[in-house]
C-alpha cells in the first residue's frame, strides 16, 4: 500500500508526488503541496555560539579567514554589518570594508 495521502478533493488513492514538491491526483488533476516543503522554507540560521541570525544583523568574525583568490586576510574581530542570509553552502552574503562582496559561513561568525 502507498504511503502517499489520498487526494483531499476526490479521495482517490492513486496520488503521486511530482518533481516540484507537490502531490498530484491523476483522476481529478488536483495538486497540493507536500507538508515537508513548508518546514524547509523556515530554515533557522545560527552563529558559532548558537544565537539565531536574521537578515540585517551585525556579526563579528571569530577567526582569521583567508579568502580564496585574494591576497589579504579577514582578521578576527572584523565587524560585518547588514548581513543577508541565503540558502547555499555559504549562508551569509555581505560586504566587508576593504574586501567587497563576500560569502561567509555562519560557523565563523558571532552576533554582536
Confirm if 78 and 63 have CB atoms less than 8 A apart: no
CATH topology of domain 1-39: N-terminal domain of TfIIb (2.20.25)
Per-domain residue ranges of the chain: 1-39, 58-111
Q: What is the CATH class of 58-111?
A: mainly beta
Q: Kindly state the percentage of the chain with pLDDT values over 90.
A: 52
- At residue 84, the pLDDT reads 95
Burial of residue 47 (CB within 10 Å: 0-12, 13-18, 19+) is buried
Fold match, 1-39 / 58-111:
no
Nearest by Cα to 28 from 50, 44, 13, 47: 13
CA distance 45 to 22: 26
| pLDDT per position as a tens digit, 33-68 | 886 544 445 688 999 999 999 999 999 999 999 988
What is the per-residue DSSP string for 27-44?
TT--EEE-HHHHHHHT--
**What are the backbone angles phi and psi of residue 55, rounded to the nearest 5°?**
-60, 140
Amino acid at each position: 500500500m502507498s504511503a502517499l495521502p489520498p487526494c483531499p478533493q476526490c479521495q482517490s488513492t492513486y496520488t503521486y508526488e511530482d518533481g516540484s514538491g507537490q502531490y498530484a491526483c491523476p483522476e481529478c488533476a488536483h495538486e497540493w503541496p507536500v507538508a515537508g516543503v513548508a518546514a524547509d522554507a523556515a530554515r533557522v540560521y545560527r552563529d558559532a555560539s548558537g544565537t539565531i541570525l536574521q537578515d540585517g544583523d551585525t556579526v563579528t568574525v571569530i577567526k582569521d579567514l583567508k579568502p580564496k583568490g585574494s591576497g589579504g586576510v579577514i582578521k578576527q574581530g572584523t565587524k560585518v554589518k547588514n548581513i543577508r542570509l541565503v540558502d547555499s553552502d555559504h549562508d551569509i552574503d555581505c560586504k566587508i570594508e576593504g574586501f567587497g562582496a563576500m560569502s561567509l559561513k555562519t560557523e565563523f561568525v558571532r552576533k554582536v
